[in-house]
């Protein structure tokens, strides 16, 4: 059966329509106290004014029209006119015993995420995109979407003219890794700024690159390959779902760019401005009221970030046949995406049947509350942060006396899980402070807390040494609360797929783990007997499954012991 909450909501809506001819969201909420049943709605109170009737009378009429006897005990009216609903325990037990499953929806979603830049280290912003993007891919696949991942790597543009020229000036045969590439990048920048002769050569080199000159391409390819190797290493460490096959960098759209310009010209959307080709869209103006252009082709004939993104939209709709396109990118690029989506729609590349969404996120801050940088002002290396997190996790496990043989792999799961969970658990549009102490803590809304809840359940179930059992007894209110929350897993995941807000899943899992603690306190499991014991074990097994699946959707490993 499906989650009960949406079913009950629908029944209430129907009753309201039948009784009063109104279509309303009953805003069904969990009851605040066990004596109020499981859910309550204030629908009657909200209707008092429009209907000009007393809430208790409205509630009574509502209940008369409400058909829920297959799910609930008879509804009651309480206080000033709340309608209370209490599920039958057999219904609740059945909901836990046969959890909701999603069928394929026959819709395709493209998720553009991670997107590091060639010849530069990945920074914490790329961590955010990678972690959030990955969680969203998992969630979307879980609820039945076909997911196509696209790693829109920054591998194109004017900086590669400088890089190639600098490499030729120095020693084209020098060995390169990401670290030395970054150095090369910095030297090329300085060279570019100090020598107009070098600047001219760099510009000519970009033209050679973009027009396919073989020697230039080979040098560029080497830089791309060197960078991707290191990105892959980091992806493996993070345990992301991205593969080399998902890399479709900016360069992949190079051949389509002239055609993009032709299409836009034919549609009358381009204006020449200072030698550049620009699109001026209604509604896009700067603070001073001046129009904000999308620069499609620069005055030197080169294409930039916007042109590539336009080609990408076109490709994702035409070739990948996406119904939904999601861009997991820093919130500071919000305007860019609004412009791209508006222009793509105007050009007819983004039909109304495809939704493009910018999933923005805030900035990672250092302990000083400023954007996270090293003392010398460089970007903080992701690999270093992960090392530190694993170190903390190791210390934590040493303290706890975790099993020595698997301690190293558990520390990986806990350290990296802690960093990921901290990123996912706050509303993504907010900034957050990168504080390892808080992330790797065993208490509070943290990854380790949830991993521990899962590991403890694993141990308990192993100790019980019983085969699979079913939930049959739900007498204690806390057992009922646990069952209700377990039943809400599917609808929570569905909500995350809709709102693209992973922190809702984190909040749900944290609440579940908190209820589990209350359940342990009030309902002995291993020392209880007979059907009660079997039923409680089944509740524990279901909770373990939901915690494991939920963490899995967030991209976090749930070790069996901690």
What six digits make up the tokens of 364?
């990672």
* Binding of ligand ARG by 152 (CB under 6 A): yes
Q: In what order do the strands lie in the sheet with 39-41?
A: 29-30, 39-41, 82-87, 72-78
Q: Which of residues 40, 41, 42, 117 is near ligand ARG by CB under 6 A?
A: 117
Return the residue of 8, 77, 329, 350 that touches ligand ARG, per CB under 6 A: 329
Report how far apart the first and last C-alpha atoms of the chain are (Å, whole number): 34
Candidates 14-22, 112-120, 204-212, 483-491: pick the segment binding ligand ARG (CB under 6 A).
Answer: 112-120
Q: Which is nearer to ligand ARG, 330 or 391 (CB)?
A: 330
For the range 287-292, what are the long-range contacts, defined as Cβ-Cβ under 8 Å and sequence gap of 24 or more? 292/335, 292/339
Among the listed residues 198, 327, 349, 452, the single contact to ligand ARG using CB under 6 A: 327
Q: Which CB sits closer to ligand ARG, 312 or 506?
A: 312
Task: Give dist(CA 251, CA 156) in Å, integer.
Answer: 5
112 binds ligand ARG (CB under 6 A): yes
* Span of 110-118, 193-201, 446-454, 494-502 interacting with ligand ARG by CB under 6 A: 110-118
DSSP 189-209: HHHHHH-HHHHHHHHHHHHHH
| Of the candidate residues 154, 417, 548, 559, the single one contacting ligand ARG (CB under 6 A) | 154
Tell me how far apart the alpha carbons of residues 90 and 377 are, in angstroms, rounded to a whole number: 61
Min separation Cβ 383 and ligand ARG, Å: 17
Q: Does 304 bind ligand ARG (CB under 6 A)?
A: no
What CA dihedral angle connects 453, 455, 457 and 458, to 10 degrees? 170
Q: Which is nearer to ligand ARG, 152 or 533 (by Cβ)?
A: 152
- State the binding string over 194-233 for ligand ARG (x if CB under 6 A, else -): ----------------------------------------
229 vs 455: CA distance, rounded Å: 34
Contact 310, 253 (CB under 8 A): no
- Work out how close the CB of 332 gets to ligand ARG at its nearest, in angstroms, rounded to a whole number: 9
**Would you say 136 or 396 has its CB closer to ligand ARG?**
136
- How far apart, in whole angstroms, are the C-alpha atoms of residue 479 and residue 148? 40
Provide CB contacts within 8 A for 424, sequence distance 6+.
131, 132, 135, 502, 503, 505, 506, 554
For ligand ARG, which is the closer residue by CB, 40 or 308? Answer: 308
- Minimum Å gap between C-beta 181 and ligand ARG is 15
Nearest approach, Cβ of residue 362 and ligand ARG (Å): 14
Shorter beta-carbon distance to ligand ARG: residue 120 or 222? 120
Q: Per CB under 6 A, does 452 bind ligand ARG? A: no
**Helical axes 4-20 vs 43-51, angle rounded to 10°:** 20
Q: Give the C-alpha separation, 294 to 335, whole Å.
A: 10
* Residue number, 152 or 297, with CB nearest to ligand ARG: 152
CA 300 to chain centre: 38
Q: How many residues bind ligand ARG (CB under 6 A)?
A: 9
Shortest separation between residue 336's beta carbon and ligand ARG, angstroms: 7
CA angle (320, 326, 327) in 5-degree steps: 115
The residues that bridge with 327 in the sheet, in sequence order, are: 112, 358
Minimum separation from the CB atom of position 381 to ligand ARG (A): 16
CA angle 342, 347, 351 (to 5 degrees): 75
Token pair 């799910």 is found at: 71
- The answer to whether 42 and 36 are in contact (CB under 8 A) is no
Q: Which is nearer to ligand ARG, 227 or 515 (CB)?
A: 227
Among 309, 479, 487, 494, binds ligand ARG (CB under 6 A): 309
Closer residue to ligand ARG in complex, CB, 307/556: 307
Q: Which residue number, 41 or 129, has a Cβ lying nearer to ligand ARG?
A: 129
φ, ψ of residue 286 to 5 degrees: the values are -75, 180
Query: What is the closest distance, in whole angstroms, from the C-beta atom of residue 560 to ligand ARG in the complex?
Result: 37
| Separation CA 338–CA 25 (nearest Å) | 31
342 three-state secondary structure: helix
Using the minimum distance from each CB to ligand ARG, give the nearer residue, 110 or 540: 110
* Token pair in block for residue 324: 């939904």
Closest C-alpha among 524, 516, 493, 491 to residue 506: 493
For residue 128, state whether it binds ligand ARG (rule: CB under 6 A): no
Nearer to ligand ARG (CB atom), residue 83 or residue 329: 329
Q: Which residues bind ligand ARG (CB under 6 A)?
A: 112, 115, 117, 152, 154, 309, 312, 327, 329
């Amino acid at each position: 059966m499906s989650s009960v909450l949406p079913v009950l909501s629908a029944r209430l809506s129907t009753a309201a329509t039948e009784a009063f001819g109104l279509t309303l969201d009953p805003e069904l909420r969990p009851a605040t106290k066990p004596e109020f049943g499981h859910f309550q709605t204030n629908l009657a109170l909200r209707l008092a004014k429009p209907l000009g009737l007393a809430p208790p009378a409205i509630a009574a009429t509502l209940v008369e029209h409400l058909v829920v006897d297959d799910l609930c005990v008879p509804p009651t009216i309480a206080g000033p006119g709340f309608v209370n609903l209490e599920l039958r325990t057999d219904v609740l037990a059945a909901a836990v015993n046969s959890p909701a499953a999603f069928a394929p929806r026959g819709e395709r979603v493209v998720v553009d995420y991670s997107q590091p830049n060639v010849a530069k280290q990945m920074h914490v912003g790329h961590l955010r995109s990678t972690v959030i993007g990955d969680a969203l891919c998992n969630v979307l696949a879980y609820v039945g979407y076909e997911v196509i991942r696209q790693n829109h790597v920054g591998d194109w543009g004017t900086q590669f003219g400088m890089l190639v020229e600098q490499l030729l000036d120095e020693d084209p045969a020098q060995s390169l890794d990401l670290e030395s590439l970054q150095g090369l990048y910095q030297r090329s920048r300085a060279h570019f700024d100090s020598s107009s002769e070098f600047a001219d050569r760099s510009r000519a080199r970009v033209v050679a690159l973009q027009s396919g000159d073989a020697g230039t391409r080979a040098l560029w390819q080497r830089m791309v390959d060197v960078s991707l190797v290191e990105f892959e290493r980091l992806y493996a460490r993070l345990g992301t779902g991205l593969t080399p096959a998902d890399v479709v960098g900016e360069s992949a759209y190079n051949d389509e760019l002239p055609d993009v310009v032709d299409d836009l010209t034919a549609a009358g959307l381009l204006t020449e401005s200072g030698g550049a080709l620009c699109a001026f869209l209604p509604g896009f103006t700067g603070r001073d009221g001046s129009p904000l252009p999308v620069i499609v082709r620069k005055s030197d004939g080169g294409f930039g970030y916007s042109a590539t993104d336009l080609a990408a939209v076109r490709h994702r709709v035409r070739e990948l046949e996406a119904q939904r396109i999601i861009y997991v990118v820093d919130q500071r690029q919000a305007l860019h995406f609004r412009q791209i989506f508006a222009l793509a729609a105007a050009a007819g590349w983004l039909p109304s049947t495809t939704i493009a969404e910018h999933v923005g996120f805030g900035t990672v801050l250092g302990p000083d509350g400023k954007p996270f940088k090293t003392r010398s002002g460089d970007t903080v290396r992701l690999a270093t942060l992960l090392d530190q997190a694993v170190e903390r996790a190791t210390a934590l496990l040493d303290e706890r006396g975790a099993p020595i043989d698997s301690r190293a792999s558990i520390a990986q799961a806990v350290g990296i899980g802690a960093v990921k969970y901290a990123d996912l658990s706050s509303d993504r549009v907010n900034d957050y402070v990168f504080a390892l102490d808080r992330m790797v803590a065993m208490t509070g809304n943290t990854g380790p807390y949830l991993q521990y809840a899962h590991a403890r359940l694993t141990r308990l179930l192993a100790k019980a040494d019983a085969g699979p059992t079913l939930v049959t007894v739900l007498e204690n209110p806390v057992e009922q609360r646990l069952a209700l929350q377990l039943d809400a897993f599917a609808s929570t995941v569905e909500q995350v797929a809709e709102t693209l807000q992973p922190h809702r899943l984190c909040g749900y899992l944290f609440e579940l783990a908190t209820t589990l603690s209350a359940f342990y306190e009030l309902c002995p499991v291993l020392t209880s007997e007979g059907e009660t014991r079997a039923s409680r074990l089944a509740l524990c097994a279901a909770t373990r499954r939901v915690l494991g699946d939920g963490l899995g959707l967030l991209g976090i490993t749930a070790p069996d012991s901690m």
